[in-house]
């Protein structure tokens, strides 16, 4: 979130309408507030299920006049309603070269499988987990002696460079879904 906010800070053609979190105690909210961005918490624990939570997230985003959702560190699976309300307008980032290693444990799985290269994927969200059209990918070499922390740190460095550019290009219509 911080890398995206920094990248977009001086632009007049894109505005971050809200930084939303599913938990109140995340660093991203503090960073967003420090940057003067509006924030909101839609605490997933307050909802009976995924559908009600998803509706509240979509309502909060729409209430700010936002037309896109950009997920960063958002570890909740949204119900299909999100895709219905924001068709082709939800972006997600994933720490692997999809379709390899979808899901919450991509870095662990890459190491467990002994791959020599993993990476970063930015994709459009669809109804399935880590499945939508891929907009960009970038490889990250797995080094001898890597553990989850060292590999994840190198992946995050790539994410922080790549995601802000892809978000801007996608929102401005410079990238198309395949």
Quick check: is 94 catalytic?
Answer: yes
| Of residues 103, 81, 102, 82, the one with CA closest to residue 91 | 82
138 - beta bridge partners? 120
130 in Cβ contact with 104 (< 8 Å)? no
DSSP strand E in the chain: where? Answer: 19-21, 39-41, 69-70, 90-94, 117-124, 134-141
DSSP string, 101-138: S-STTHHHHHHHHT-SEEEEEEEE--SSTT-S-EEEEE
Which of 7, 94, 105, 152 is catalytic? The answer is 94
CB contact at 8 A, 138 and 158: yes
Helix or strand run (H / E) with residue 59? helix 50-63
* φ and ψ at residue 139, rounded to 5 degrees: -75, 155
Active site residue ranges: 94
């Amino acid at each position: 979130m911080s890398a995206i906010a920094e990248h977009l800070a001086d632009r007049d053609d894109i505005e971050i309408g809200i930084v939303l979190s599913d938990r109140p105690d995340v660093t991203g909210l503090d960073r967003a507030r420090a940057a003067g961005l509006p924030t909101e918490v839609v605490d997933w624990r307050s909802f009976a299920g995924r559908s009600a939570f998803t509706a509240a997230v979509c309502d909060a985003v729409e209430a700010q006049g936002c037309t896109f959702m950009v997920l960063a560190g958002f570890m909740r699976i949204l119900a299909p309603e999100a895709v219905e309300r924001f068709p082709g307008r939800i972006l997600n980032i994933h720490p692997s070269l999809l379709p390899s290693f979808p899901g919450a444990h991509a870095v662990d799985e890459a190491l467990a499988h002994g791959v020599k290269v993993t990476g970063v994927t930015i994709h459009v969200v669809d109804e399935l987990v880590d499945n939508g059209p891929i907009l960009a990918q970038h490889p990250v070499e797995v080094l001898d002696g890597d553990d989850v922390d060292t590999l994840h740190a190198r992946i995050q460095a790539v994410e922080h460079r790549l995601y802000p550019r892809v978000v801007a290009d996608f929102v401005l219509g410079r990238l198309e879904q395949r």
